[in-house]
Amino acid sequence: MSESSGAASTVLVNCTVVDGRIVDGVGPLPDAAVWVRDDRIAAVGPRDEVLAQAGEQGGFARVDLDGAYVTPGLTNMHTHLSLSLPGSGGDGVKGMSPHELAFYMADGARRTLLCGVTTVRCVAEKDHADFALRRAIAAGRVVGPRIFTAGRALVCTGGHGHESGDTMECDGADGFRRGVRSQVKAGADLIKVMISGGIAGEHESIHTRQLFTDELRAVIDTAHAWGRRVTAHAGPAPVIAEAVELGLDCVEHGYQLTPEVVARMAERGTALVPTLLVTRCKEFFDELGVPEWMQCRSLGAGPRHLESYAMALEAGVEVLLGSDMPPFWHFEGTNASVRELEYMSEGGIGPAHALYAGTLGPIRWLGAEADLGTVETGKYADLVAMDADPTAETSAFRGIRWVMKGGRVVRDDRSGWSAQ
């Protein structure tokens, strides 16, 4: 299939359609067809009905998907396209000029889309390059996923991630209010704040508290006043508990949760992006030359991290896909996004809820469900196709062989074509 397959009117046939609504009892639709007109879904339903409907409107291109399962593209909620961990690999990224960084991030965006991730939530990118990349993708100058971004993450002086241009150092309630407003001014869709130490800070521990109550309240209240949700890098239970009471919308990592904290998260509707990969990825660390101190801290946190995830599931906390590793990175036989989703599925949610956690759940958190997240009439045609049933096994996503974003086919393995 050539690039011209993104015709103004296309009908996808010979497929089974399924999306995250399966957790609400909306089952797969076999022998289906999806009519894509321009960048949106014009109709979806039984094949003959959709073909007749499209035919009434004139000519269309017919694309046979050879019995594939069609789902929405994945949404990765913890993305860093300018990631630079301690070590030689990260030093190379930190040493890039602004021009080099722009090309590096654009290449990462392209690779992300081609692996089936059609939407990302960036949660700390260098020097506001993410805003330029978002504009370039929207204008069609760069191939990449839809981007929702926090801009630069907010940290205290010397706080987690302060060493790079993807964070902004603030102090005091007034300083953090200015930090929130500065990211909103730049175009941020959400706010990210570092409220504890983490695995990548040499002079801190996961337990290190990094914001006082007035600072944390200032971030959350100011962001909410501007209509922006707040997510927090956070590991230990006490600081998470306080943030949840103050209105935090999402927790990243949650390495050391407790039954009491996850119960409150569930009550308050605070989501969790567990990023399970980050405490079980020695191969990735070795590839980037990550130092031994960080590897020990990360891998050593793994067992407790899984326990926290299990607690969250038992309490009914909503969990969402986020890899922390670059979404496209080849890891353990697939890409980081799919491997994270597999870990989440194996850790207790199972394939059907994993499909939800990788598609509709994140889109609902982002407030974009009017346009994205399901295969429904009126939504953007951001779709992927695979041969195996993702509701039977999450590993089906390893077999993604066809990707469409906004009505344009960007990958089709049958013809060997992809957007380059």
Q: What is the DSSP letter of 202?
A: T
Averaged over 365-383, what is the pLDDT? 98
Two structure tokens written together for 21: 């609504």
pLDDT at 367 over 60: yes
Q: For residues 111 and 20, state if they share a domain.
A: no
Q: What is the pLDDT of residues 126-156, one digit of tens each?
A: 999 999 999 999 999 999 999 999 999 999 9
Q: For residues 218 and 288, state if they share a domain.
A: yes
Q: For residues 125 and 55, state if they share a domain.
A: no
Averaged over 37-54, what is the pLDDT? 97
Q: For residues 53 and 190, state if they share a domain.
A: no
Q: Nearest CA to 159 among 170, 150, 174?
A: 170
CATH number reported for the structural domain that contains residue 217 in this entry: 3.20.20.140
Q: For residues 48 and 87, state if they share a domain.
A: no
Q: b/e per residue, 339-369, with b = 16+ CB within 10 A?
A: bbbbbbbebebebbbbbbbbbbbbbbbbebe
Domain hosting residue 111, numbered range: 74-366
Q: For residues 270 and 319, state if they share a domain.
A: yes
Q: In the prediction, which pLDDT does 209 show?
A: 81
Residues in the chain: 420
What are the Cα distances from residue 79, in Å, to 127, 143, 255, 397?
15, 17, 18, 19
Q: What is the pLDDT of residues 57-104, one digit of tens each?
A: 888 999 999 999 999 999 999 999 999 888 999 999 999 999 999 999
**Percent of residues, the chain, with pLDDT higher than 70:** 95
Residues 6+ apart with CB under 8 A from 286: none
CA distance 57 to 9: 9
Q: In the prediction, which pLDDT does 408 show?
A: 96
Q: For residues 50 and 83, state if they share a domain.
A: no
Q: For residues 171 and 90, state if they share a domain.
A: yes
Q: What is the pLDDT of residues 104-122, one digit of tens each?
A: 999 999 999 999 999 999 9
Q: Band the pLDDT of 205: cuts 50, 70, 90.
A: low
Q: Nearest CA to 257 among 310, 295, 322?
A: 310
- Which phi and psi (to 5°) does residue 96 adopt? -70, 145
Q: How many domains does the chain have?
A: 2
Q: In the predicted model, what is the mean pLDDT of the chain?
A: 94
Q: In the prediction, which pLDDT does 231 show?
A: 98
Q: What is the pLDDT of residues 227-242, one digit of tens each?
A: 999 999 998 899 999 9
Greatest mean pLDDT among 163-167, 194-198, 368-372 lies in: 368-372
Residues 6+ apart with CB under 8 A from 48: none
What pTM, to 2 d.p., does this model score?
Answer: 0.95
pLDDT at 420 over 70: no
Q: For residues 284 and 412, state if they share a domain.
A: no
Q: For residues 67 and 82, state if they share a domain.
A: no
Averaged over 297-323, what is the pLDDT? 95
Higher pLDDT, 98 or 161: 98
3-class SS string, 135-180:
HHHHCCCCCCCEEEECCCEEEECCCCCCCCCCEEEECHHHHHHHHH
Q: In the prediction, which pLDDT does 297 show?
A: 85
Q: Using N-to-C axis directions, what is the helix angle for 213-225 and 172-186, rounded to 10°?
A: 30
CATH number reported for the structural domain that contains residue 65 in this entry: 2.30.40.10
Q: For residues 388 and 323, state if they share a domain.
A: no
Residues 6+ apart with CB under 8 A from 126: 82, 84, 101, 164, 165, 166
Q: For residues 59 and 201, state if they share a domain.
A: no
Q: What is the DSSP letter of 73?
A: P
Q: In the prediction, which pLDDT does 5 show?
A: 44
- Which phi and psi (to 5°) does residue 232 adopt? -130, 130
pLDDT at 353 over 80: yes
